[in-house]
Amino acid sequence: MSHDNSSPKFLQHHFHDVEQQYETAKLGMWAFILTEVLTFGGLFVAYVVYRSWYPEMFVGANLLLDVNKGLLNTIVLITSSLTMVLAVWAIQKKNQKLSLFMLIATFLFAFMFLGIKYLEYSHKFEVGQLPGEYYSYMGPEIAHLNNPHIFFSIYFIMTGLHGLHVAIGMGLIAWLIYATAKGNLNSEYYTPMEMIGIFWHLVDLIWIYLFPLFYLI
Amino acid sequence: MAENQKQNYLTHPKGIMSWLLTLDHKRIGLMYLFGGIAFFFLGGVLALGMRLELAAPGNDFVSNDTYNNMYTLHGAIMIFLFIIPAIPGALGNILLPLMLGAKDVAFPRLNLASFYIYTVGALFVMYTIISGGVDTGWTFYTPYSTTSTSNVIPMTMGIFVIGFSSILTGLNFIATIHKMRIPGLTWYKLPLFVWALYGTSLVQITATPVIAITMVLLILERLLGIGIFDPALGGDPVLYQHFFWFYSHPAVYIMILPAFGIISEIIPVHSRKKVWGYKFIAFSTLSIAFIGFLVWGHHMFTSGQSVFSQIVFSFITYFVGIPTGVKIFSWMLTMYKGQVSFTPPMLYALSFLFLFTIGGLTGIFLGAVALDIHLHDTYFVVAHFHYVMQGGTIIAFLGGLHHWWPKSMGTMYNQTVANICCLGVFLGFNGTFFPQFLLGLRGMPRRYATYDQQYAELHNYSSFWSGILGLSIFISIMNLLWSLRKNNKLDPGTNPWGGMTLEWTHTTSPPHPHNFEEEPVLEHGPYDYDKVIVEPTFKK
Amino acid sequence: MSEHHITPLKTYLAVAGTLFFLTVVTVWVSYFDFGSFNIVIAMGVATLKASIVALFFMHLLWDDKKNLTMFVMSLMFLGIFITVTLLDTGFRGGVNSEVESPINNRAAFYDSLPLTDTHGHPVDEHSADHHGEGEDHH
């Protein structure tokens, strides 16, 4: 009935073995990724539909975004993805210290991403490039375009939801730092780190699309 | 082990906290069951209130505004708080691990979390009711939902939250079905209810995220005027309908697929015959789940979408009829030359076949653009979806409840009373909703508290039978609950219907806290009535 | 869990290098105008990057193929959502060209917005002489 004493303490009672528990967690995680893709998917649909209705406005409005900040954020996020896989790699190689270092680096990069995003947002707030009825920017480059507030609505909702995911990811990574430092995660059992890693790469993956959609084209 | 045998999940461990913090899928399933039934009654009372108002023309009992609140809440409560969570959450939770021979679902803590998320969502809905209701209809169509002064935001927040519960349940079930089966239980040896839950879960995780984001956009539209759905701000209200129905049409299959699964279990067991066309039923489940994603626009034939997409949606809609027909014929061929016994679950299954066929066939009428433009938003539509949702899903739910009640509770209800109630439900249902087809054909629009004198007779008839329907359902539930009285326990080895799936053959009624004394070894397929004889056993 | 696939460090570094390179490429390309191909190129590069992230960083290349199926399925349903919605929104003008796109091309609140400079400060109409009248008589 209950598993014998030789099985590791992280094995939950309803699983046969560690392998089954690991594979199950991973499948569940990918099912969750599927829901995330479709959550953002709804917003991508809104983007595509409105872009097809307001092509000039979208091209005009994206010039108001700061490509350099967007590029910097892309690089920051890709780097954080790299440090995240290296954290998993290090713990697989039984190097807990390196893993801890990489997790802290990931956390700091995530913080940096939000910092840059904050600078971008505060500039938009200052000049009145706001979503919906709060929009008030009528600069010469855009005053003649139709309904630019829709572009900024979609921009703020998509990057806002993405930023929320970054913030949630930071919370999860903070927990990983704690668990790794305490030794709860080690080369025998690092499933949570791998799962949160997958989540973190998804955040990166979505930004890979957001960056060209809003800043470049 | 002898003492161990007396333990069952209902009595062990004891104490209120052991229920509230339980990780046991069977207890979580029971909490879903009683939560769902409570909302079923609330939604039912609202329905009866509406029928009372509609018994005669004119505003007899409630004002138009109150009536608007009543149908909105009736729809939202029945769909989001009862039908969608009830079958997967209650019967699915209790049965899925048992049918797989597993000790629990893949993620027990997530399972408990999704129940509490459901509870939080329900609190939002309760708050909406207390603070004055909402009058947009359960579909929250823009632009009315962005301008209405009623409590749209708490209600949509509630739906947003309940969506997460649905997603987590679906995710959990998918991982469970893939990874928690006992060795030897291959895909084609799974009970068909498991296939149905698998299809349901796939739809839950793919469609539900979209309703979540839709509700967020709707709330933001109200708070900030983002202009995506608001025509005055350059947006498009029809786009809202696309977003809404991308979820809500597949959600129809979230509601009906588990019902199909229940019927696929009840019919072979109570006909004592191997199910006909196992693979047909299994794959028709998956193809319904898939086709369900391609037909959402048939809810929008009068909304102003492009003619081109109307034709495409209408065309694809007919394809839903194929796998559904395959199922109906497979069930009928299963009964053919079987030993059909008219037990309460089987009576419900037979009612289902009859009612769902009417619901499905009228759905084909509505899938034709030309006819739908005439019938859109009339009582014809109301009757159609009640034949599918109540005549299909709720009847199957009641059937499943009667089928697995002895398994999950270890008691047997009064079968005569149950049979009479089933007859009452069947007659009451047809009496209530068949006249509504005629009302719709004659042009009676839905969602009005009053109507012209010419519709009075049929409305009156419908209202009378709705009372019979409500009473029958009430008594049948009370009959189930009455069986829980003291000294009514069944022998733990009872298998009253002679079921062949693992939950009947390898564990006690009610099951052991860890489901099985030891891991079951598969001896035969789920419906091998041609190879093995499993006698029904029934003793107190 | 020692039997799990451990990706060599070199692979990760090469993957990250490729991602940085593609990021620079997509920004560089955006300064040229290829007309309607701008979107195709940008999305093509983004998809290449996303595939690399999914296959290597998210381990889909080495994983149980069920996980890959799950991910591909999410993209397929997203594809259905986009395509089928466009079947409506892209073809509305077929019968009545007035409803081809949203009717209200300029929301009412724009009429009461003053023109601004690039810092969002309102400019008074005398200095904004390059603009026509009738925009801000409020």
- How far, in Å, CA of A208 to CA of A78, rounded? 9
Q: Give the amino acid at B487.
A: N
* CATH 1.10.3720.10 is held by the domain B85-111+139-505: no
Of all residues in chain C, the one with the smallest CA distance to B233 is C107
- How far, in Å, CA of B25 to CA of B27, rounded? 6
Give the best residue of C69, C74, C84 to mutate against chain B (max B CB count within 10 A): C84
- How far, in Å, CA of A136 to CA of A56, rounded? 19
Do B476 and B526 contact (CB within 8 A), yes or no?
no
Write down the pLDDT at residue B482: 95
Q: Spell out which residues of chain B touch residue A35, defining contact as CB-CB under 8 Å.
A: 167, 171, 205-206, 208-209
Q: Pick from C74, C87, C108: which is nearest to B309 by CB? A: C87
Q: Show the CA angle centred on residue B516, arms to residues B510 and B520, nearest 5°.
A: 130
On whether any CB of chain C is under 8 Å from the CB of B370, the answer is no
Of B422, B423, B370, nearest to B398 by C-alpha is B422
Q: Pick from B233, B293, B294: which is nearest to C107 by CB? A: B233
Contact A139 C71 (CB under 8 A): no
Give the best residue of A4, A152, A153 to mutate against chain B (max B CB count within 10 A): A153
Q: Give the amino acid at A130.
A: L
| A5 domain residue, yes or no | no
Q: Spell out which residues of chain A touch residue C54, defining contact as CB-CB under 8 Å.
A: 201, 205
Domain that holds residue A105: 18-216
Query: Taking 80 as the threshold, does the pLDDT of residue C134 lie above it?
Result: no
Write down the pLDDT at residue B538: 78
How does DSSP assign chain C, residue by residue?
-TTS----HHHHHHHHHHHHHHHHHHHHHTTS--TTHHHHHHHHHHHHHHHHIIIIIT-TTTS-HHHHHHHHHHHHHHHHHHHHHHHHHTSGGGT-GGGSS-S-SS-GGGGGPPPB-TTSPBPPTTT-TTS-SSS---
Do A105 and C86 contact (CB within 8 A), yes or no?
no
Contact B306 C103 (CB under 8 A): no
Domain with A212 in it: what CATH number?
Answer: 1.20.120.80
Task: Please provide residue B515's backbone torsions phi and psi, each rounded to the nearest 5 degrees.
Answer: 75, -55
C-contacting chains (≥3 CB pairs under 8 Å): A, B
**A51-73 average pLDDT score:** 93
- How far, in Å, CA of B195 to CA of B260, rounded? 10
Counting the structural domains of chain C, the total is 1
Of A166, A176, A168, nearest to A204 by C-alpha is A166
Strand partners, C122: C116
Q: Where are the alpha helices (DSSP H) in B443-510?
A: 456-482, 502-505
Of B93, B79, B95, nearest to B394 by C-alpha is B79
Q: What is the mean pLDDT for each group of 10 consecutive residues in chain B (540 residues)?
A: 63 87 94 96 96 91 94 95 92 96 95 96 95 92 91 95 96 96 94 97 96 96 92 92 96 95 96 94 96 95 91 95 95 95 96 96 94 95 96 96 95 96 97 97 94 95 96 96 90 90 91 90 90 80
Query: Taking 50 as the threshold, does the pLDDT of residue A59 lie above it?
Result: yes
Contact C99 B304 (CB under 8 A): yes
Write down the pLDDT at residue B53: 95
Write down the pLDDT at residue B6: 63
Quote the DSSP letter at residue B355. Answer: H
Of B162, C102, B357, nearest to A52 by C-alpha is C102
- How far, in Å, CA of B60 to CA of B140, rounded? 27
Write down the pLDDT at residue B455: 95
- How far, in Å, CA of B356 to CA of B263, rounded? 11
Write down the pLDDT at residue A6: 58
Of A59-68, B530-539, C35-44, C85-94, the one with minimum mean pLDDT is B530-539
- How far, in Å, CA of B168 to CA of B293, rounded? 20
Task: Please provide residue A129's backbone torsions phi and psi, each rounded to the nearest 5 degrees.
Answer: -90, 75
| C84 domain residue, yes or no | yes
For B417, B497, B501, B526, the CA distances from B534, given in Å and listed in that order, are: 27, 9, 11, 11
Q: Show the CA angle centred on residue A195, arms to residues A190 and A201, nearest 5°.
A: 125
Q: Look up tokens 């975004």; give the residue.
A: A65
Query: Taking 70 as the threshold, does the pLDDT of residue C101 lie above it?
Result: yes
Of B428, B340, B437, nearest to B391 by C-alpha is B428
Counting the structural domains of chain A, the total is 1
Do B203 and B270 contact (CB within 8 A), yes or no?
no
Domain that holds residue C81: 9-95
On whether any CB of chain C is under 8 Å from the CB of B2, the answer is no
Exposure string of A151-161, with b = 16+ CB inside 10 Å and e = fewer, is bbbbbbbbbeb
Strand partners, B469: none
Exposure string of B59-72, with b = 16+ CB inside 10 Å and e = fewer, is eeebeeeebbbbbb
Write down the pLDDT at residue B540: 63
Write down the pLDDT at residue B517: 87
Query: Taking 60 as the threshold, does the pLDDT of residue C135 lie above it?
Result: no
| C83 domain residue, yes or no | yes
Q: Residue B517 corresponds to which tokens in the numbers above?
A: 């004394």
Other beta carbons within 10 angstroms of residue C38's beta carbon come to 17
Of all residues in chain B, the one with the smallest CA distance to A33 is B205
Q: Spell out which residues of chain B touch residue A12, defining contact as CB-CB under 8 Å.
A: 108
- How far, in Å, CA of B283 to CA of B286, rounded? 5
Give the best residue of C64, C68, C78, C88 to mutate against chain B (max B CB count within 10 A): C88
Contact A1 B517 (CB under 8 A): yes
Chain B closest-CA separation from residue A139 CA (Å)? 20
- How far, in Å, CA of C74 to CA of A204, rounded? 17
- How far, in Å, CA of B202 to CA of C70, rounded? 10
B234 dihedral zone (left: phi>0; alpha: psi -120 to 50; beta): left
Q: Spell out which residues of chain C touch residue B198, defining contact as CB-CB under 8 Å.
A: none
What confidence tens digit (pLDDT) does each residue in A75-116 have? 999 999 999 999 999 999 999 999 999 999 999 999 999 999
- How far, in Å, CA of B160 to CA of B157, rounded? 5
Q: pTM score, two decimals?
A: 0.94
Other beta carbons within 10 angstroms of residue C100's beta carbon come to 15
| C102 domain residue, yes or no | no
Q: Spell out which residues of chain C touch residue A30, defining contact as CB-CB under 8 Å.
A: 66-67, 70-71
